Structures are given as C-alpha cells and as structure tokens.
Amino acid sequence: MTIGWHFDNTYSKLSDNFKEVIKPTPVKDPELIILNEKLAKELNLDFSNISKKELAKIFSGNVLPEGSSTIAQAYAGHQFGHFTMLGDGRAVLLGEHLVNKNKRFDIQFKGSGKTSFSRSGDGRAVLGPMLREYIVSEAIHALNIPTTRSLAVISTGEKVVRENLLPGAILTRVASSHIRVGTFQYIAAKQNIDDLNTLVNYTIDRHYPEIQTSDNKALDLLNLVMEKQCQLVVNWMRVGFIHGVMNTDNMAISGETIDYGPCAFMDHYDPKTVFSSIDRFGRYSFSNQPPITKWNLARFAECLIPVIDKDEDEAIKIASETINNFQNIYEEKWLNMMRDKLGFFGEDQRDKKIIEDLLNWMEQNKADYTNTFCYLMNKDSISNEIYKDQKFLTWIKNWKNRVLINNGSIEKSLKLMKNTNPTVIPRNHKVEEALLAANENNLDNFNKLLSVLENPYDNLENIDEFQFPSSNNNYQTYCGT
C-alpha cells in the first residue's frame, strides 16, 4: 500500500558545507506511541493500512521511506549569548515532502542518534520531552500561531541516561524548513561569500519568492524575516507563551515557532516569569522575548553585511537602520494585538494607558493572564474574588466606555475578543500530569488534554479542570538534553 510520500530534496543537494550525509541510528525495539492522523491527512499521507509495528519501524528510522535523503544540518548559535558552532546533534532530516506539488515540508527525526555535530551528546531523546513538544506544538498550531508540527512519537525500547535512566523516544517533526538564524551564522563564520550567496538565494526561493528579482535581496530578506518574527513574538505575548530558550539556533527564518524545550505558558501575569531551569538570570523571560527577538535579528543582519552592500560601512549603516526599526514595528503590532484582546475597534489616544493599567493591576494582584480576558468575555466558569477589587471595577468602567467608541458595541467587541483570547491553554500542571502518566504507558490524560486543546477558542463544556492554574508557583521546565 502506498503511503503517499513525495520527496523532493533540495537542501541535501547543497554542498557539504551545509550538512552531513548520515542515516538515523537503528533502535532496539521501536513502538508507536502516537500518530497525528489529522496532520498526516493534511500532508496527503495515508497510514491507515500500515500496522503499528511497521509504523514504528518507519518513525524510528529503522526503515527509511523511498525517496528520502537523510542529512544532519549544520548551524551555529548564540546560546544564552555565547556563540557556538553547532548542528543537528540528535536530529536527522529525512527530506522534503511535497504536498500538491508546491507545498514543501521538512520531515525530521529528533532523537535519532549521534552525528558529527553531537559533540559530547548521546544523540538521543527522552519520551517526556518529545511528548511535551507534541502537545505544545499542536496547541500552538490550534492557537493560530505559526509553528513546526508533530507527526509521530515512538519509544525506542532503549534507556537514555539523564539524571536517571529514562525511556528513549524519537519525535517526527514537520516544518516549512529548518533554516535558522544560526544557519546563516554558521555559513557567515566560514567566510565563504559564495556559500553565503547560495544560502540567501536558497532561502528566498524557498520562503520568499516574491523578492527573487529584488535589487537588494539580502536587505529585503532581512526586512521580511523581521516582520515575521515580530508577528510571531506578538502572538506568543497574546497567549502568554514563554519559549524558554530563544537562542539564535532556535529562530526559524520561516517565522515558525521551533524547538519546544523548556517552554511553558504563564499563569498569573508577571512579565518577569521564567520557567526554564537553566535561565538563571531571566534572559528569556516573558517580557524579554521582544528585545531578544531584536537581538537575534541583529545577529542575522550581521551575517548579511557582505551581501547587503559591497561597501562594508554602508552595509552596516543600512543594516543598523533596519534593525533599529524593530521597536516601531513591534510596538504597533503589539498595541493592535492588545486592542483585539480587549475588543477595541479603531484607535484612541487613551488605548495604551487602558492596556497598561490592566496589566499593572494584573501583576499587582497576581491575576491569571488567560482567565482575566475570559472573565471580560463573560465566561461563566471564571470567577475570582480579585475581580471585585475596586480598582478593577473602575478599570472595567473605562474599558466599557472605550468599547463603545468607533461604532463599537459590547456584542461586536465580544466577538473580536473570542477570536483572540483562548479559553484554554496547556496549563503546566496538566501537561506534567499527562507526561507522568505517559511514562507509565497510560495515554488517557495525554489524549484528553490534546482533545481539549484542539479548539481553544470554542465554548467547550466540562473543561473546568483545564482552565485553572496549579497552586504550585515554583514550576520549572527542563530542556531534555
């Protein structure tokens, strides 16, 4: 039976400076944990007549699909500000799957064994973090935020050494590509102008064909990537998502969210919120995500200096002016996003103050970020004594007055808000419950959580347990390596 793979592998045809040709390391006893059948359908893949045993062989890399061309990609990265030459140390790209002859998707294994980029790593992944990426990436997709997706997770039948012996696993990740800011950093560090031009042209052909005939392709690429990344981080801020490890190697040129390591969602509003166990100084805190995006884009701009203008000083000037415009682009997008969250139509000079007053009140009163907007949308299940606070009641009056200007109405505003504010997010304690049970071969909680998160903007019934934060304020996440 034909599954429907249609590989057309362009990245693997680039020179060896961009990658290593390597196959996944076979695993002992692969077992299918979960298959994303909806995503498979979107990819025009049909696994319905393939046994679970055969699926496990496919998604472990023990049996490779016809037409695949397996490689590990080279890239560098500023990891917590420190530059390192990296690469896929535990991932193998199977190839590029075409859907309807024009939509191209990378199919990648994560946790598939050592490569030449592994350094001291074991090349393997653990079941818990791979299932976390599955849950959160699918939740981010349902929240209408650009992201890589998860097609399958298999257990390997092998133990992986971390703090303890843990069950090994491999995730199959789907992305519009895995080209990162770090990819450009790697090639730029090699100081080969031909390779840099190759990467610029390849990226434009793949993601931004509208600028193929531009007079200054590199500059236009910088502007387009900045626009995409601005929109992406604004979306993260909209739903309270904290990526946790915004290194330049985790910043996709496509504008998709990539690499769900120590990620989590903010419960009570605190701009300094950090969940990552390794982020001791709050570099990647909730409020730092916009300035870090700008910082990462500045590193991208540095890579492009040789191809922006032959005159280095002129190129630096142009790139600096471009990056310095980030703040204006971001603030405008963020303000419009917050207007949507509050149901405001048009603009009013008082908007920023109304928004800041709410956020300040939320921070001071430790109000839940998601549920406060649900309360404003009259969600019956959301109630809390803090919403009877006099300052909040005064703010409500100002908010309702603002809603009514620019031909607005409460009904119209509520409709806008319901399309912007999720009713449910992946609450951190519910994710942990699901992962803990999955480690004991019980996927009931996992599947129930996925089902709830599929429609985060709908009026779902009987979901109270998924709507409220845990009383544990010391939640931490780990990268899994």
User: 129 CB contacts (<8 Å, ≥6 apart)?
Assistant: 261, 478, 479, 480
Residue with tokens 């590029």: 96
DSSP state of 271: T
Burial class (CB in 10 A: 0-12, 13-18, 19+), 20: middle
Calculate ∠ Cα 114-117-118, nearest 5°.
45
How far apart are the two ends of the chain, measured CA to CA in Å?
Answer: 37
Calculate ∠ Cα 6-258-363, nearest 5°.
150
Active site residue 249: yes
CA atoms of 446 and 139, how far apart (whole Å) = 12
Calculate ∠ Cα 139-140-142, nearest 5°.
65
Task: Please say whether the beta carbons of 105 and 150 come within 8 A.
Answer: no
- Which token pair is 402? 């603002």
Q: Which of 249, 259, 279, 309 is catalytic?
A: 249
For residue 73, the surrounding DSSP H or E stretch is strand 71-73
CA atoms of 316 and 311, how far apart (whole Å) = 9
How far, in whole angstroms, is CA 229 from its chain's centroid? 11
Sign of the torsion angle spanned by Cα atoms 428, 430, 436, 438? negative
User: 322 CB contacts (<8 Å, ≥6 apart)?
Assistant: 219, 222, 223, 226, 301
User: 190 CB contacts (<8 Å, ≥6 apart)?
Assistant: 17
Phi first, then psi: give them for residue 314, nearest 5 degrees.
Answer: -65, -40
- Which token pair is 436? 């803990």
How far, in whole angstroms, is CA 55 from its chain's centroid? 26
Q: Which residues are catalytic?
A: 249
